[in-house]
Chain A
Amino acid sequence: MSTFFQTLIVGLRLGSIYALIALGYTMVYGIIRLINFAHGDFIMVGGYTMIFTIPLALRMGLPAWTAVLAGVVVCVLVGVGTELIAYRPVRKTGTAMTALITAIAMSLFLENLAQAIPAIGPNPKVSSQIFASGGISIGSVTMEYTTIITILISAVIMVILYEFTQKTRLGRAMRCVSEDKAAATLMGINVNHTILLTFAVGSGLAAVAALMYMAQYPKVYTTMGSLLGLKAFVSAVLGGIGIIPGAVLGGIVIGLVESFTTSYISSSMADTFVFLILIIVLVLKPAGIMGKNVGEKV
């Protein structure tokens, strides 16, 4: 029984990280129908920013997690910069496919750019302890506070994002842009500003995800975003891409599948099962678990 709980907790720990990253994917996709493959690398950017700012925060007597503020600022700048430099010009002249390829190019560009910066370099960096260790014990296993905080943050962000897109003027503008850009322009919505705002929010979320990732898996390296981004993308698709609560659900499901496969089926086949589940769900329900079939899909 203790193996079961331990596996469950590991699954939630991985899943909560995937959920947090998937929120960023789904947010951007939901608004501009672009799979931002560089989102995983925004996590890397946030991670490295915090590697450099955590010591500063500690020296000023602040708790380590306050470094996330610097992470958010840098990630928002990088996200908005990516939109302005790469995505917007491509969107003006190209198709959805060119935009997708640009996103992949942007991802590789960021990874290699990071390697070329001397202070970052290609060596992995290990962060210092971010939250106090310890947790709540259930029988012989312990659920760490970090895991609980990550799940809570995912849930809170999910609710805020949902309410934001449903209730506020800006959120409604985002949904308008997502449905019909031309009509949105006619209704007096500044499409470019709305998309920029979406990128700012999505990239800011990447910094929060990076903080929680580092709190549990304290290693940062330049290519960390690729596999992490892929798993989060799978989570978003599984839950129904573009649907905010779906991203969280998808993330948790992927984390649990990964963990239970490791414990009960075969430890070397965790990834095999993660992607197998994706195929099964997409065959049975092409729009994802929470998705509604609207015809147009990737």
Chain B
Amino acid sequence: MKKWKLLSMLLVICMVFSLAACGDSAAPAAEGGEGSSDEPIVIGVISPNTGALAAYGNGIVTGVDLAVEEINAAGGILGRPVEVIKTDDQSDPTECLNAFNSLVSQGVGLIIGSATSGCTSAITDAANEEEVCLLSPTATADSITTEDDYIFRACYADSFQGAIAAAYAKQAGYEKVGVVYCAADVYSKGLFDSFSSACAEYGVEVVASESTASLDVQDYTNQFTSMVTAGVDFVYAPFYYDVIGPYVVPQARAAGYTGVIMGADGYDTTPDYVVEGADLTAFNDVYWTNHYDPSDTSEKVSSFVSAYEAKYGSIPSAFGATGYDCVYMYKAAIEAAGTDESSAVRDALADTSAVYECVTGTFSLDESGTPVKGAAIISFVSDGSAVTSKLVDVVTELP
């Protein structure tokens, strides 16, 4: 009996050691394959897939997926397939940093994200510190990109977007305008700043400006009552779709404001967030600036829109378009660098002479990493039962 016991114990010890040995030998094997030709190129995506701005995340993720599918079908980048790791920031800056850290800990050196300026500004310092490329599809705040860093974007900056709106007010003959914005939000405040400074430049007077304490406010009636009192017929209201549809526009009309309401790319997807059964003619005379116009007939746009429609059954939002563009910008940069190593890709993106032919325009990046390109001005049109978008103008240069 004793012999048996001893033998079995020995056996157990042997097994434990052999398991440990397995563990040891497995680890280097996993790391060993890096850099080989069929190892996938990994791109991380940070977007608000859940939370109040989930429509943005959905747009970006679908756009990225479509681009990656096309690239992989055509043989990948430098002959290597592309793999995407998606993370969710819930449009919360803290969650955004968590998502970023999780991508970095997985060894990802190329990241697309995030959608909003508030979230993206939470990770720009970390990206520079970790020397990880960050390419944002739609973070428009001026402060996001600076010279000599790892941060780039596929969209114009707010100083341009706000100025386009001011130029439009001037061109349409409004001499006195008002602004309703959120003082506590980077995006809304940034657009307010650029709009008002552009107004000063064009000789348009901002006679009334009202703000809200947070983006969670439900009632905008008082703000628009002051617009009526100030006698303006043009109000710049840079908010997001989740309040524009159910709150801002209907309440502004109920407060007796009948003039133009103008906004920015945050108005995208508003028609999906309007109150069914309410008087939707309120949405007439609402204008906004966007990254692209899906009804554009150019070959690049129409082939993107039809491919997207075939895959997802809907018209891509600007977030889908810029997300799609981000992947192709990385493709061009990786091919120029000849490697997917992040500092080399960064140098390729920082080359201001490189030209990117994208859905949202053909452009090169300026010293800060922001595209030099135009904006589409779009208006909402409603017959009372549904809201649709209509292209008004495409502006490529400021007056």
Contact = CB atoms under 8 A, between A and B. Distances in A.
Interface in B336-392: none
Given A129-B275, A133-B279, A262-B223, A122 B218 contact: no
Contacts of A293: none
B54 to A, nearest CB: 4
Contact of B212 (A141, A142, A268): A268
Contacts of B55: 123
> What bracket does the count of chain A residues touching chain B fall in?
35 or more
Given A140-B256, A217-B246, A227 B216 contact: yes
Interface residues of B, number: 39
A105 interface: no
A227 B217 CA distance: 10
A122 B51 contact: yes
Given A10-B221, A126-B246, A219-B246, A121 B50 contact: yes
Contact of B213 (A124, A221, A270): A270
B50 A115 contact: yes
A267 B246 contact: no
Contacts of A124: 52, 242, 273
Contacts of B279: 133
A122 B49 CA distance: 9
A258 to B, nearest CB: 8
A218 B246 contact: yes
B214 A271 contact: yes
A122 B54 contact: yes
A269 B182 CA distance: 11
A267 B210 contact: yes
B246 to A, nearest CB: 4
A39 interface: no
Interface in B243-294: 243, 245-247, 254-256, 273-279
A14 B247 CA distance: 14
Interface in A237-275: 259, 262-263, 267-272
Interface in A1-40: 2-3, 6-7, 10, 13-14
A102 interface: no
B130 interface: no
Contacts of A262: 219, 222-223
A62 B50 CA distance: 33
A3 B229 CA distance: 8
Contacts of A263: 222, 225-226
Given A121-B50, A129-B276, A219-B246, A268 B184 contact: yes
Interface in A164-186: none
B243 to A, nearest CB: 8
B37 to A, nearest CB: 40
Interface in A85-136: 115, 121-124, 126-129, 133
Contact of A6 (B90, B182, B222, B274): B222
B319 to A, nearest CB: 14
A6 B226 CA distance: 10
A3 B226 contact: yes
B197 interface: no
A267 B277 contact: no
Nearest to A227: B216
A7 B50 contact: no
Nearest to A219: B246
B211 interface: yes
Contacts of A14: 218-219
B219 A10 contact: yes
A128 B275 CA distance: 5
Interface centre among B55, B90, B217 (most CB of A within 10 A): B217
Interface in B16-65: 50-52, 54-55
A221 B184 CA distance: 21
Given A140-B256, A271-B213, A217 B278 contact: no
Given A124-B242, A126-B246, 12 more contacts: A2-B229, A6-B222, A6-B255, A10-B221, A115-B50, A123-B54, A124-B273, A128-B278, A133-B278, A144-B254, A262-B223, A270-B212
For the complex of A and B, 4 pairs with smallest distance between CB atoms: A122-B50, A129-B277, A128-B276, A217-B218
Interface of B: 50-52, 54-55, 90, 182-184, 210-214, 216-219, 221-223, 225-226, 229, 242-243, 245-247, 254-256, 273-279
21 contacts: A3-B226, A6-B222, A10-B221, A115-B50, A121-B50, A122-B54, A122-B90, A123-B55, A124-B52, A124-B242, A128-B277, A133-B279, A144-B254, A218-B275, A219-B273, A262-B219, A267-B213, A268-B182, A268-B184, A270-B213, A271-B214
